[in-house]
Structure 1
């Protein structure tokens, strides 16, 4: 099972944490990065997104590294006096109108070899040729954005119920991000022991975890040792239980071939029937009826009901069904979690078709993990996203 350890966290000394923190780098547009950078010269994007904030530099990553070291020297960032964990709570109202209070813990999670067990991927990842995160880790010797892990151990939610020492809060876009420090040795040991007692499933940040593995191997090669800080990586770990997770579906956009051919291929495996215009309310119908929804170029929708026997040998996942149904059709697949954005893509012609799917259940996520299987790419969208900058970790 993976080690999960406390560490002396790096934190912003600023009072206005909304001005210096940011969403994860991989959900930000260039325009959003520019807006965050303009808000404060100390916003984390000045280090975390060098391809944008240092685009004119000869080496954007070296420039980001210089900014990082200056922040450390000048006291923009301060290190905790002792190792500890950080409880990270997110309070918000979800898309169904339910109030949610999620609690997870930020610590240092062991970096294990692929296939070794202990830390598991839950879906196949789309290729990323860029060495962006590896170059940034080399330049800063730091973990900036945490991997989002789900502990398969029971009881973590209860261990995090009691408040820790308040160290920061950011209220943005209807979500309260609240962080609390835990340094009491007894409580620290209890959290570490529980998370380390069972496997951790990567919910978000598969690429970041893979980069942590590459960086660890580089350090081992350079030092000849396997006991340094690179043996672990920054992780936000919550319990895999329904009340602690808000999961949205990631819908499919299709280009290549054409709508008529795609519809014909789908009709071999699904019965198609009239559906109302796509909306947020329709997503509830998909779950209740056990169907998917095909959207054509005019924005009209059809329900897709699996034909008896069509998927007998296929895992009961909407994404897996679509892969099976379209296996012989040369289509290009893109992904989008917002219904309005899906409609815009189809009506504008950026995609000729789309399919709305249901979120994956907690039970299916755990079953897939226990059986050492992988879901199709982009099967789950965990929300809200963890804010970058509330907890940082030095690798020096």
Structure 2
């Protein structure tokens, strides 16, 4: 069964951490990195996406020495809330940080996407040099009895330990060192199945490095009202006439579409055949996208513009994955193609660090 423990987290010595936290490494562009560095010389991007691995370790140790980073006196869990808007609708996603014992995937902790080797090598090297969990794994758990919901509501009545106001989110953190509450949350995960929502590379890297150690993890329930999954659209440089004909072989046109194929100035809305029992995104990759070089974008408008400009031959526009489909993935132990889900927003880096003993 999944096992979590509290930890003496290392946090910024400031109530307002807006200028110190950053997104995880895989979504930081060069221009955004420059902007983050301009906010503060202590911004977590220096640890998360450093110029070199040794500089990350040097900066972290220096910041601790200067008192910019402080270690929690008592073992704690950390309630974490992100408020944000998407298409005019307000969302509040809530979960908590803990240390999760890593294990071979497929027992009580499950992946849902395939991974690339490149990011794993990079994260392994950073971990090897720094001995720090810079950004957390993001996991989902089942909470049908609403145990977490009840506890989090009570904790939110208190003043937060730290806050942040960012361009896309407002964030709050509460340190929890009450062992009664901690034990309830630990027991809540008994006989649970944990799904890695984001951070597959970090999980695999940490498991390889520690051979079963405890990794910094953000856990949120499947039924959290603020859980938002966005699609990542596909782009192909080329597509043959035979492959275009195969679209009608594998899919049927439908207003109730699973995908939209976009050719220059032309959308084709399609749905997978009823007899196909695969998750649509998996079926797409096993047919039309099989053995193809695929590029990705989260912006539908950008996908269309890239086809219209001639940079790409076709775009495949996806729908957001339903949370029920994701729960089905866990139940059936299905592994989806890379970038099948995008949990928005990303969990910030620097809210709390975990230093390996």
TM-score over 0.5 for the pair: yes
Cα pair distance change 1:188/1:300, threshold 3 Å: same
Q: Is the 8 A contact 1:104 1:157 kept in 2?
A: no
State the 1:252 CA deviation.
Answer: 1.3
Cα pair distance change 1:215/1:19, threshold 3 Å: same
Q: 1:243 aligns with which of 225, 229, 246?
A: 225
TM (normalized to structure 1)? 0.84
| Greater alpha carbon shift after TM alignment, 76-85 vs 332-341 | 332-341
Q: Does 1:166 align with 2:140?
A: no
Q: 2:204 aligns with which of 186, 201, 210?
A: 210
Q: Is the 8 A contact 1:318 1:357 kept in 2?
A: no
Cα pair distance change 1:201/1:290, threshold 3 Å: same
Write the mapping of 1:211-360 to structure 2, written as runs, cut at 5 A.
211-217=205-211, 231-241=213-223, 243-258=225-240, 260-272=241-253, 289-296=256-263, 298-307=264-273, 312-315=275-278, 317-326=279-288, 330-360=291-321
What SS does structure 1 have at the residue aligned with 2:19?
A: helix
Q: Does 1:98 align with 2:79?
A: no
What SS does structure 2 have at the residue aligned with 1:19?
A: coil
Equivalent-residue separation in structure 1 for 2:349 and 2:214 (angstroms):
18
Cα pair distance change 1:301/1:327, threshold 3 Å: closer
Equivalent-residue separation in structure 2 for 1:140 and 1:124 (angstroms):
26
Q: Does 1:33 align with 2:33?
A: yes
TM (normalized to structure 2)? 0.92
What SS does structure 2 have at the residue aligned with 1:160?
A: helix
User: Equivalent residue for 1:226?
Assistant: none
State the 1:314 CA deviation.
Answer: 3.9
Q: Is the 8 A contact 1:4 1:196 kept in 2?
A: no
Cα pair distance change 1:256/1:393, threshold 3 Å: same
What SS does structure 2 have at the residue aligned with 1:235?
A: strand
Equivalent-residue separation in structure 1 for 2:197 and 2:185 (angstroms):
19
Deviations 1:8-29 (A, max 9, x none): 1111113541211101111111
Equivalent-residue separation in structure 2 for 1:341 and 1:127 (angstroms):
27
Equivalent-residue separation in structure 2 for 1:245 and 1:392 (angstroms):
23
Cα pair distance change 1:158/1:348, threshold 3 Å: farther
Between Structure 1 and Structure 2, how many residues are aligned?
A: 353
Deviations 1:196-225 (A, max 9, x none): 4412110000000001111103xxxxxxxx
Gaps of 5+ in 1: 55-59, 218-229, 274-285
> For the aligned residues, what is the CA RMSD?
2.0
User: Equivalent residue for 1:201?
Assistant: 195
Gaps of 5+ in 2: none
State the 1:261 CA deviation.
Answer: 4.2
What SS does structure 2 have at the residue aligned with 1:69?
A: helix
Cα pair distance change 1:331/1:166, threshold 3 Å: same
Deviations 1:353-379 (A, max 9, x none): 011121211111111101222122211
| Greater alpha carbon shift after TM alignment, 359-368 vs 153-162 | 153-162
What SS does structure 1 have at the residue aligned with 2:173?
A: strand
User: Equivalent residue for 1:157?
Assistant: 149
Equivalent-residue separation in structure 2 for 1:361 and 1:63 (angstroms):
41
What SS does structure 1 have at the residue aligned with 2:220?
A: strand
Cα pair distance change 1:83/1:242, threshold 3 Å: closer
